[in-house]
Amino acid sequence: MRLYNTLTRQKEQFVPRAPGKVAMYICGPTVYNHIHIGNARTFLSFDVIRRYLRWSGFEVTYVQNITDVDDKIINRAREEGRSPAEVAAEYTEAFIAAMHALGIEDPDIRPRATAEIPAMVELIGCLIGSGHAYEVDGDVYFAVRSFEDYGKLSGRDIEQMQSGARVEIDPRKRDPLDFALWKAAKPGEPSWDSPWSQGRPGWHIECSAMSAKYLGNPFDIHAGGDDLVFPHHENEIAQSEACSHTTFANYWLHGGMLTIDREKMSKSEGNFLLLKDVLQHVRPQALRLLMLQTHYRSPFDYSAERLQEATVALERVEGAVRNLEWTIENAAVKLGGSASDDQSEKALTLINRIEATRKQFKSSMDDDFNTAGAVAAIFELVTIANSSITETLQSALLKDAVTVARQTIVELLAVLGVVVGSDEDRSEELPQELVTLAAEMAGYSGDKPAEAVETLLAVRREAREKKDWARADAVRDGLATLGFTIEDTAAGTRVVRKG
Ligand SMILES: [Zn+2]
pLDDT digits (tens, 9 = 90+) for 462-472: 999 999 999 99
Half-sphere exposure (Cβ direction) of 335: Cα atoms closer than 13 Å: 0
- Determine the distance separating the centroid of ligand 1 and the alpha carbon of 26, expressed in angstroms: 7
- Determine the distance separating the centroid of ligand 1 and the alpha carbon of 88, expressed in angstroms: 17
Q: What's the mean pLDDT in 360-364? A: 98
Q: What's the mean pLDDT in 213-241? A: 97
Q: What confidence category does residue 360 fall into, taking pLDDT thresholds of 50, 70 and 90?
A: very high
Q: Return the number of other C-beta atoms located less than 10 Å from residue 380's C-beta.
A: 14
| Statement: residue 237 has pLDDT above 90 | yes
pTM metric for this prediction = 0.86
Q: What confidence category does residue 206 fall into, taking pLDDT thresholds of 50, 70 and 90?
A: very high
- Determine the distance separating the centroid of ligand 1 and the alpha carbon of 339, expressed in angstroms: 61
- Determine the distance separating the centroid of ligand 1 and the alpha carbon of 25, expressed in angstroms: 9
Kindly list the structural domains of the chain, giving each domain's residue range(s) and its CATH number in brackets, ordered by start: 2-280 (3.40.50.620), 304-424 (1.20.120.640), 430-497 (no CATH)
Q: 63-73: per-residue pLDDT in tens? A: 999 999 999 99
Rounded to the nearest 5 degrees, what angle is found at the Cα of 481, between the Cα atoms of 480 and 484? 35
Of 263 and 13, the structure prediction assigns the larger pLDDT to 13
- Determine the distance separating the centroid of ligand 1 and the alpha carbon of 261, expressed in angstroms: 29
pLDDT value, residue 349: 95
Cα separation values, 404 from 320, 325, 358, 382, 420, Å: 14, 11, 12, 12, 15
pLDDT value, residue 424: 45
pLDDT value, residue 338: 58
Give strand ranges (E) for 353-456. Answer: none
Q: 421-439: per-residue pLDDT in tens? A: 754 455 556 788 999 999 9
Residue 124 to residue 206: CA distance in whole angstroms = 10
- Determine the distance separating the centroid of ligand 1 and the alpha carbon of 228, expressed in angstroms: 8
pLDDT value, residue 423: 47
Q: What's the mean pLDDT in 45-59? A: 96
| Statement: residue 165 has pLDDT above 60 | no
- Determine the distance separating the centroid of ligand 1 and the alpha carbon of 204, expressed in angstroms: 6
Residue 159 to residue 3: CA distance in whole angstroms = 31
Q: 266-293: per-residue pLDDT in tens? A: 777 778 899 999 999 899 999 999 999 9
Please state, rounded to an integer, the average pLDDT across all residues of the chain: 92
Q: 187-198: per-residue pLDDT in tens? A: 989 999 999 999
Half-sphere exposure (Cβ direction) of 266: Cα atoms closer than 13 Å: 5
pLDDT value, residue 229: 97
- Sequential DSSP letters for 283-319: -HHHHHHHHHTS-TTS-EEE-HHHHHHHHHHHHHHHH
- Determine the distance separating the centroid of ligand 1 and the alpha carbon of 217, expressed in angstroms: 15
Report which secondary-structure segment, H or E, holds 346. Answer: helix 341-366
- Determine the distance separating the centroid of ligand 1 and the alpha carbon of 369, expressed in angstroms: 22
Q: What confidence category does residue 160 fall into, taking pLDDT thresholds of 50, 70 and 90?
A: confident
Residue 354 to residue 382: CA distance in whole angstroms = 10
- Determine the distance separating the centroid of ligand 1 and the alpha carbon of 219, expressed in angstroms: 14
| Statement: residue 84 has pLDDT above 70 | yes
Give every strand in the sheet of 133-136, ordered side by side.
Answer: 133-136, 139-142, 179-184, 199-201
- Determine the distance separating the centroid of ligand 1 and the alpha carbon of 436, expressed in angstroms: 53
Percent of the chain with pLDDT over 90: 78
The answer to whether 255 and 17 have CB atoms below 8 angstroms apart is no
Contacts 24+ apart (CB under 8 A), 438-447: 440/478, 441/474, 441/475, 441/478
* Cis omega (within 30 of 0) for bond into 231: yes
- Determine the distance separating the centroid of ligand 1 and the alpha carbon of 168, expressed in angstroms: 23
- Determine the distance separating the centroid of ligand 1 and the alpha carbon of 302, expressed in angstroms: 25
- Determine the distance separating the centroid of ligand 1 and the alpha carbon of 263, expressed in angstroms: 26
